[in-house]
Amino acid sequence: MGKIKIHPDQKYIERLSANNLAVIQEIYKKFVPKVVFYIKNNSGDQDHAQEVVQEIMILLFNQAKAKTLKLTCPFDAYFFLLCKRKWLTKLKKISSKAVTIHEDVGSINEAGLKLVQKTEQFDEKQQLFDTTFLKLDDKCQEL
């Protein structure tokens, strides 16, 4: 198999891992409005949108710090799809109506979709770790 081609937007991931405030501001300015618009037009409000964005930003920061994220598609498409899927998952939990997730295949390639799935798996593992860690007594947590 050929080597995975890293997208030039990997710069966002690298700068996130360095806790670069300028890149965080750039992401909020360039990419978040699209997410807010989407969530507001899909049974959500501003607070829902901000919550989803914050959760995804924390997830991306953690994954960037773990150096497990190699971007193979544009950051915009990756970020939007992560937020969209997070919102639809939340909407399923709070809504009495059925929610179906349809992937917008035009905005992201197969490698990008696999990357989103990998990020979601990272998030699930992180949540499991956090939950298990909290079950430990204080002395064990301190170690």
CA count, 13 A, side-chain hemisphere, 125: 10
pLDDT of residue 28: 96
Q: What confidence score (pLDDT) does residue 33 get?
A: 96
Q: Calculate the CA 95 to chain-centre distance.
A: 22
Measure the CA–CA gap between 139 and 59, rounded to whole angstroms: 27
| Domains of the chain by residue range | 10-142
pTM (global) more than 0.75: no
- As averages over each run of 10 residues, the pLDDT of the chain (143 residues) reads 79 93 95 94 92 95 89 91 91 69 55 68 67 66 58
